[in-house]
Amino acid sequence: MNWWDSDPAYRAVERAFVDGDPLDQAGGLLDVRTVVAGIRAEAKDGFLIEEVPWDRFPKGVRVREAMEWLRSGDAADDAAFGRLMSLCADDMRAAVAPTVPFLIRVSTGREAGRRAGALAVTAEVARMRHQGVCTRADMLRFRGDDEWSFEVTGYLQNWSVQAARDAIASDADLLLPLLDDPDPAVRIATAYVLAAATDRAQDILTAFHARLLAEHDPAARAGLVLAIAQLARAHCDSRTVVWMRACWSDPARPPEVRVSAAVGWMCLTDLPIPDELRAMLDNLATGETA
């Protein structure tokens, strides 16, 4: 017997989203956006995961178990993060989306490895998988912004991703200080998470630019530039297109900044690629830069 044959959450999703009209579920019990938005502040801060109706969504029981491991604070962190990441990789984000407010609070803890792991899962939930060939027009796009995309269970993936992105925006004030974290891996992951926020774009952009001026780690600089590009893609910021053009064409900029800015510029515009950019990439897009 397959797991979905005995999973009431899967059967409910199938009836609502496959056999029925998904829009009929908007704002209802199966709308994960409503579920995440309804988590009380006290529940988030107190890690009261029992207040979340995990079992409404396929594999929710497994998600709750992973969150119990994280709450216990034992050595099961890697297993918990791995389980959540695997569900995202399997294109099953609906049950994982409610973990975002809790994972953000885990990311503010003392252990760098725990912070980076929680941020990695948060960023993964907030982005859809790219199917097939990824073009320059698709690379930084939050897929589904203008089209429906469904998870393997039939759940509307747009809602899962939006729930995660909204939760990130809601807790941006907790995340912004992590851009100055001592660990470069945490700084990189934080930029990737914040780029997904549905709101607070100007505050986040200002923080990205301020961190870029102070950043000395090449990988973190590259990540910040790409985060700036993705934030601009999500919020239609034409000023960033001009800034990206100035960055990749400036020989005084570090190689990783110029290469990342070139990638960002190509994803933000459909203009023909100039010979100047091609020549710059030929010179700077080395294995070391990658």
Output DSSP code: residue 18: I
Q: Which of 155, 230, 173 is nearest to 4 (CA)?
A: 155
List, for residues 17-35, the tens digit of each pLDDT value.
999 999 999 999 999 999 9
**Cβ distance 64 to 49 under 8 Å?**
yes
CA–CA distance, 80 with 66 (Å, rounded to integer)? 5
H or E segment at 69?
Answer: helix 60-72
Q: Which residues of 5-36 are buried (b: 16+ CB within 10 A; e: fewer)?
A: eebebbebbbebbeeeebeebeeeebbbbebb
List, for residues 66-80, the tens digit of each pLDDT value.
999 999 876 678 899
Residue located via tokens 């393997």? 152
Residue boundaries of the structural domains of the chain = 1-177, 200-290
**What percentage of the chain has pLDDT greater than the value 90?**
82
pLDDT band at 248 (very low <50, low <70, confident <90, very high): very high
CA–CA distance, 81 with 198 (Å, rounded to integer)? 24
List, for residues 7-19, the tens digit of each pLDDT value.
899 999 999 999 9
Q: Specify the range with the lowest mean pLDDT, choosing from 125-134, 166-175, 200-209, 236-245.
A: 125-134
pLDDT band at 1 (very low <50, low <70, confident <90, very high): very low
List, for residues 97-125, the tens digit of each pLDDT value.
999 999 999 999 877 778 999 999 999 99
Helix (H, G, I), strand (E, B) or coil at 75: coil
List, for residues 203-236, the tens digit of each pLDDT value.
999 999 999 999 999 999 999 999 999 999 999 8
Helix (H, G, I), strand (E, B) or coil at 156: strand
CA–CA distance, 186 with 120 (Å, rounded to integer)? 9
Distance between start and end Cα atoms, the chain: 45
List, for residues 256-287, the tens digit of each pLDDT value.
999 999 999 999 999 999 999 999 999 998 88
**Looking at residue 128, what is its pLDDT?**
83
